[in-house]
Amino acid sequence: MKEMNGAEVLIKCLEDLGVKHIFGYTGAAILPVFHALRHSDIEIIVNSNEQSAAFSAAGYSRSSNRVGVAIVTSGPAITNTLTSVADAYGDSIPMLVFAGQVPEHKIGTDSFQHINVRGIFRDAAKKVIQLSNGDDIETIIKDAYYFAKSGKPGPVVIDFPLDKQMKNHAYHGMDVKRFEGSYHDDRHLSESQCENFFKLLLNSRRPLLYLGGGLNSESGSQAVREFNELFGIPSVNTLMAKGVVDERHDLNLGMLGMFGTPYANMLIQENDFFFAIGVRWDDRVAEKVGFAIGTDIAYIDINPEKMHQIKIERSPKFTFIGDAATALRDLLNYARKHNIRLDIREWQMRARDLKKSWPLNYNRSS
């Protein structure tokens, strides 16, 4: 065990978690943290303002398997991150935002640049934590990192009073695997669940994959690509799933919805089995275009609240709450074990013809 001030504990925790970059903008109520960074190999990228710092941290998360970190000061600085935090929450992007705060005994007063962070961010973040002098900083920060990534990912906002940054605290160097393992998702599809899924799939002649942001990771992208190498099912995707599969492939019809491709929006009117994976059934798709009406639906998602909503609204015949990549692996293993194949050549030809008929092009001679 070592003793160091709270700001130094924060930086040590981030080092233990493998954080290499931080995005931020300094100010009086967060100065101890910036001072602690002088003795760290973590690189800080100073942005033009706090909003861009938080958006940069979210972009860092989107483009990697890491959790982006933003550090800002109190009052107008933390409120300046609200739009980016809400955006990350809506898109299920993990992120940590640390905010300076007035000393704990001045919280709830009209002290300079004091703001009720918990009240403002309560409905815009996955979790809001206000550190208190009796809290174990190390445990809270290491747990928050993996909580942000777990389940339906999202941003965690941590309010860090100035006196707690300066006060000495114990640092134990706890193994981060202890926290990572506490959020490990052990759910898998059973043999009977896989059997029920393939009964629906094999009974269809015009199946369609609907790919969402729940697959927007290395493991998710690899799993769905391998799944479709075996079955060759035409696919459409949401904005959050762009890049999950190769959009140049003749069986991927790109984004659907009011901003989607003509051929994607046409093909979804003709399918008889709709396999939705990691999607939130966005109103810009469901209400503007309309789809999966009168078809058999299979739905996999990690969000229990969204699953409850879709069960009531659309009555899917197959559902699973859990990690999309894990579920696809389970289905793929079952299919290989039982030598399951799909013959949908006419439907594949229909998808290819539609994509060729409505090319994304422009008048190159104009």
| pLDDT per position as a tens digit, 246-273 | 989 999 999 988 888 999 989 988 999 9
Q: What is the mean pLDDT of residues 4-25?
A: 96
Cβ contacts of 86 within 8 Å, gap of 6 or more = 124, 125
CA angle 200, 205, 209 (to 5 degrees): 70
Q: DSSP class of residue 213?
A: G
**pLDDT above 60 for 289:** no
What are the respective helix, strand and coil percentages of the chain, to the nearest 5? Answer: 45, 20, 40
What pLDDT shows up at residue 132?
A: 87
Residue 111, phi then psi, degrees to nearest 5? -60, 150
Q: In Å, how far are 270, 274, 328 from 197, measured between CA atoms?
A: 20, 12, 11
Q: 11-29 in b/e burial notation, b at 16+ Cβ within 10 A? A: bbbbebbebeebbbbbbeb
**Cα gap 72→28, rounded to integer Å:** 10
pTM exceeding 0.85: yes
Percent of the chain with pLDDT over 70: 98
Every domain range in the chain assigned CATH 3.40.50.1220:
191-357
Every domain range in the chain assigned CATH 3.40.50.970:
2-182
Length of the chain: 366
What pLDDT shows up at residue 292?
A: 64
List, for residues 105-133, the tens digit of each pLDDT value: 788 887 888 889 999 999 999 999 999 87
**Cα gap 301→309, rounded to integer Å:** 12
Higher pLDDT residue, 200 or 288? 200
User: Which of 104-113, 172-181, 194-203, 234-243 bottoms out in mean pLDDT, i.e. has the lowest?
Assistant: 104-113
Contact 89, 124 (CB under 8 A): yes
**Cα gap 25→38, rounded to integer Å:** 15
**pLDDT above 80 for 294:** no
Q: What is the residue whose two structure tokens read 């092009």? A: 361
What pLDDT shows up at residue 290?
A: 63
144's tokens: 């928050």
**pLDDT above 60 for 216:** yes
**Cα gap 279→301, rounded to integer Å:** 7
Residue type at 24 in one-letter notation: G
**Cα gap 360→366, rounded to integer Å:** 16
What pLDDT shows up at residue 287?
A: 63
Q: Pairing mode, if any, of strands 2-5 and 168-171? A: antiparallel
Q: What is the residue whose two structure tokens read 């009011």? A: 258
To 10 degrees, the CA torsion angle through 170, 65, 31, 134?
Answer: -30
pLDDT band at 360 (very low <50, low <70, confident <90, very high): confident
The angle that helices 324-337 and 218-231 make with each other, rounded to 10 degrees, is 30
User: Among 332, 336, 347, which Cα is nearest to 272's?
Assistant: 347
Q: Pairing mode, if any, of strands 252-255 and 235-237? A: parallel
How many C-beta neighbours within 10 Å does residue 64 have?
Answer: 13
Superfamily, domain 2-182: Thiamin diphosphate (ThDP)-binding fold, Pyr/PP domains (3.40.50.970)
Contact 266, 354 (CB under 8 A): yes
List, for residues 29-79, the tens digit of each pLDDT value: 999 999 999 999 999 999 999 999 999 999 999 988 899 999 999 999 999
Name which CATH class applies to 191-357.
alpha beta
Tell me how far apart the 2 most distant CA atoms of the chain are, in Å.
72
